[in-house]
Chain A
Amino acid sequence: MSVFINKDSRVIYQGFTGQHASFHAEEAIKHGTNIVGGVTPGKGGATHLERPVFDTVSDAVIQAGANVSGIFVPPQFAADAILEAIEAGIETIVVIADGIPVQDMVRVKRYVLGQDAVIFGPNTAGVITPEECKVGIMPANIYQPGRVGVVSRSGTLNYEAVAQMTARGHGQSTSVGIGGDPINGANFVDVLRAFNEDPDTDAVVLIGEIGGAQEVDAAEWAQANMDKPVIGFIAGVSAPVGRRMGHAGAIISGEADTAEAKMNRMEELGVHVVRNPAEIGKTVDKVLKQ
């Protein structure tokens, strides 16, 4: 089992024929992902990677039964692509595009209210259920099927954590990137809820960073609702106040935003907090053996 995506997902890539999308679609196909086609406006009717190209997402849903989309279009067009996917009835939308204007996402979030779609990202490395379905840009070889759920804001730090886990024999049920932007789709609580309901997930690794209160909200939710252990890490103990550290969301603007404050609060709420980013795998090992 897994959450959000699996071997039955019918995946399309928006911006399908672009260089990045093509490369990552091929990688995903090699990994076993059921990519049923893609969308590039104006190129409908063509064939790419032995799969149909559609002009619109609606065509892809009607003609190919698509229910998952990876958004690979340039950031200035990405919000429109997300709206198109929601309107067409896509259930899971993974937004790889990085650099989407924040207010574009404010409007997207308003539009998605009350609809059935789940958005991951923007600025996410993607979502992967190892050896079943990969929608994203992550290196597939570090993941292995298993029973630990992973959710993170950062892509490369997700790889770091996953590689440490896999090296110790702990595979992943699903690994979810929620992205590093301040206005994003699914948050940590949404993903924890899904992992909590998944009978094949035994524990969750939550990787956050400075800025905002999402991680603490997640820890509060976990304390009230979860029996499965949560292992947490917050990047940015050494980050200075007031400077945006790469991710648009990663900025310390108040005391509660610091990595130290978040980790302390999460620990109080029962999360197994890892202080050293090199010890995430070790801690998962320890917690699962308890």
Chain B
Amino acid sequence: MNIHEYQTKELLKSFGVPVPEGRVADSEASAGIIAEEIGGERWVVKAQIHAGGRGKGGGVQMADSIDEVRKHADHIIGSRLITPQTSAAGKLVQRVLVESAQNITKEFYLGLIIDRVAQRITIIASASGGMEIEEVAKTNPEKVVREPVDPSIGLPEFQCRKIAARIGLTGALMPQAVKLMQSLYRCFRDKDALMAEINPLAIVDGDKLLAVDAKMSFDGNAVHRYPEITNYRDFDEEDPKEVEATGHGLNYIALDGNVGCIVNGAGLAMATMDAITLHGGSPANFLDVGGGASPEKIANAFRIVRRDPNVKTILLNIFAGINRCDWVAEGVVQAMQKQAISEPVIVRLSGTNYELGQDILNKSGMPFITAADLDDAARKAVAAVNKL
């Protein structure tokens, strides 16, 4: 689960990470008031959307007067911001973060990830701040410091000093860096985060460390432990089809093709998409119905897949273990009857209660195209699209 920059900063601040003074505004007027309250002579107005690269899309603006703050806020709020990480249509901006502008001497990168190789939380740091860390890792891998953290002792001071020294945070800055890293780690651990990134982490006014920009995401399987994080969720940032699917216990991801896919299990769902692609077709989505899918769940899967106007045919591929082919078949028949489905529907059933399921399909009198196996199913789905 992703959250906004202003939410991340609010959270990090509560753990003792120094962040710029600022607050979020949803209108031109409130942006002006916030700037006045913060005081100073220079402010930054930042669009709050989940996608990165906001500066490149014009979503981060400097202002030298309160009037200018209002002008930028007015311009950004309600606009669609296009960045390298959004679709071509961009994302609607509903809020801006108004902060005092910083006098930056030098920028660093500091992040925490779940490291699959180390099987631990790993801290990543670099003296090349402000750049994408992936880019730095590619061009100057020696400039990226990686330190896995032993979960049984946490992040000790010596390890923070080691990292700080290697990226050049020495002298009076070192103790600040140690405290900041430990605060960030505690926040990451105590809230079950999956990713945290301070980029840039900056030296401001010559001698102070500050998290100038920050981003965090959280483990969807753990957020129920933290109501305050759950409250940060912004449904406007998510695909409504994906939100609805999650509500039905379905895992749905929209793609660009025209063959709608309904499959059980993530691996088989990907393999089904791959088989469609190999036969020259293009999947419209990834959809995993999970285990123990009821007829209603299957019918809901049809509803969600068909909401995508690009879908020209639907391929249902179920290899039932914990699922039951008879329940799945009932769901398919239900969907066909109630949803007036005109697209060709290709059904491949296998595994638990296969005969019962096939029997239900045969007796329904509905115009299914049945497929014997995965290859047959993918071929028939692509042929059905090509015939249209």
Q: Taking beta carbons and an 8 Å cutoff, which residues of A are in contact with B?
A: 20, 24, 75-76, 98-104, 106-107, 109-111, 125, 137-139, 142, 152-160, 163-164, 180, 182-183, 207, 209-214, 233, 235-240, 243, 245-250, 254, 259, 275-279
Contacts and interface: CB of A to CB of B under 8 A. Distances in A.
Interface string B211-245: 00000000101101100000000000000000000
A101 B222 contact: yes
Interface in B245-297: 251, 253, 255, 263-278, 283, 286, 288, 291
Contacts of B219: 101-103
Contacts of B283: 238
Given A156-B264, A213-B117, A278-B375, A139 B352 contact: yes
Nearest to B188: A103
A154 B268 contact: yes
B374 A238 contact: no
Given A139-B320, A180-B267, A275-B278, A249 B192 contact: no
B119 interface: yes
Nearest to A111: B152
26 contacts: A20-B322, A24-B322, A76-B224, A101-B219, A101-B222, A102-B114, A102-B194, A103-B192, A106-B151, A110-B120, A137-B291, A139-B321, A139-B352, A142-B351, A163-B350, A210-B270, A235-B267, A237-B277, A238-B274, A245-B253, A246-B265, A246-B269, A246-B288, A249-B116, A277-B271, A279-B375
Given A106-B119, A111-B152, A213-B117, 4 more contacts: A102-B192, A160-B374, A163-B319, A248-B221
B41 interface: no
B114 A239 contact: no
A278 B321 contact: no
Interface centre among A142, A160, A211, A259 (most CB of B within 10 A): A160
Contacts of A160: 268, 271, 319, 350, 374
A26 B272 CA distance: 31
A101 B255 CA distance: 27
Given A139-B351, A246-B286, A180 B270 contact: no
B265 A100 contact: no
B3 interface: no
A137 B320 CA distance: 10
Given A157-B268, A160-B319, A246 B251 contact: yes
B64 interface: no
A152 to B, nearest CB: 7
B378 interface: yes
Contacts, number: 168
Given A110-B151, A138-B321, A254-B134, A238 B266 contact: no
A275 B251 CA distance: 25
A106 B120 contact: yes
Interface in B123-163: 134, 150-152
Contacts of B359: none
Contact of B270 (A102, A107, A209): A209
Contacts of B36: none
Contact of A240 (B152, B255, B263, B291): B255
Interface in B190-205: 192, 194
B17 to A, nearest CB: 19
B270 A278 contact: no
B169 interface: no
B270 A239 contact: yes
A183 B270 contact: no
Contact of A278 (B263, B286, B374): B374
B277 A156 contact: no
A230 B119 CA distance: 25
B378 A278 contact: yes
Contact of B275 (A101, A153, A210, A278): A278
B75 interface: no
Nearest to B352: A139
B221 A100 contact: yes
B67 interface: no
B45 interface: no
Nearest to A103: B192
Nearest to A100: B221
B270 A156 contact: no
A209 B291 contact: no
Interface in B332-388: 350-352, 373-375, 378
A182 B117 CA distance: 9
A277 B374 contact: yes
A238 B320 CA distance: 23
A36 B319 CA distance: 30
A51 B66 CA distance: 75
B119 A155 contact: no
Given A99-B221, A103-B219, A278-B275, A182 B116 contact: yes
A241 to B, nearest CB: 11
A139 B265 CA distance: 14
Contacts of A107: 151-152
B208 interface: no
Contact of A155 (B134, B276, B321): B321
A212 B114 CA distance: 12
Nearest 3 CB-CB pairs, A to B?
A: A154-B267, A246-B266, A156-B265
B189 interface: yes
A239 B273 contact: yes
